[in-house]
């Protein structure tokens, strides 16, 4: 299992995998992996030649700074679990790698309507952050398939709306 932390290295591996005609799966996560994540990994392994698991705690989707600070960061334990599952790649970039210009002035993806309903009404900006990072990950990794949990119905609706 290779842990990738930089965009140039990620692009190098994606380019090679595409040249080899590999089918690529992505399991996007914020880490702190549990059995539900492992089921998604198993599904990805069954449906693709190569599996990427992203681990990125996205500051854009936290409306309260204290929640971001308290979010568990368990990269070493997560990588041990993923290695046991024989995941091919873990993409675990630093915030600066994903948002090199910082958060101010950052281009984002906003899904009108869904972003302000249900959970979005009480967490302003949360779904903008989710939509933005998922779009960035899809653009960077260009998966043939993505395996995502259905626990958060509204997040799933946002992903489906974006296609």
Active-site residues, by number, are: 37
The full DSSP string for 88-142 is SEEE---HHHH-TT-STT------TTGGGSTHHHHSTTHHHHHHHHHHHHHHHH-
Contact by Cβ (8 Å): 115, 63: no
Burial class (CB in 10 A: 0-12, 13-18, 19+), 26: buried
Task: Say how far apart CA 59 and CA 33 lie, in whole Å.
Answer: 18
């Amino acid at each position: 299992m290779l842990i990738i932390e930089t965009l140039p290295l990620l692009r190098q591996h994606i380019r090679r995998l595409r040249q080899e005609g590999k089918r690529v799966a992505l399991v996007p996560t914020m880490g702190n992996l549990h059995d539900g994540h492992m089921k998604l990994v198993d599904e990805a392994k069954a449906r693709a030649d190569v599996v990427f698991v992203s681990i990125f705690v996205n500051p854009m989707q936290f409306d309260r700074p204290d929640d971001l600070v308290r979010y568990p960061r368990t990269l070493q334990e997560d990588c041990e679990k993923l290695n046991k599952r024989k995941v091919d790649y873990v993409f675990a970039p630093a915030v600066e790698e994903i948002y090199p210009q910082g958060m101010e002035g950052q281009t984002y993806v906003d899904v009108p309507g869904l972003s302000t309903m249900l959970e979005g009404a009480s967490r302003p900006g949360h779904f903008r952050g989710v939509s933005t990072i998922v779009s960035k990950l899809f653009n960077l990794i260009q998966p043939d398939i993505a395996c995502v949990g259905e626990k958060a119905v509204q997040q799933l609706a946002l992903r489906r709306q974006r296609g």
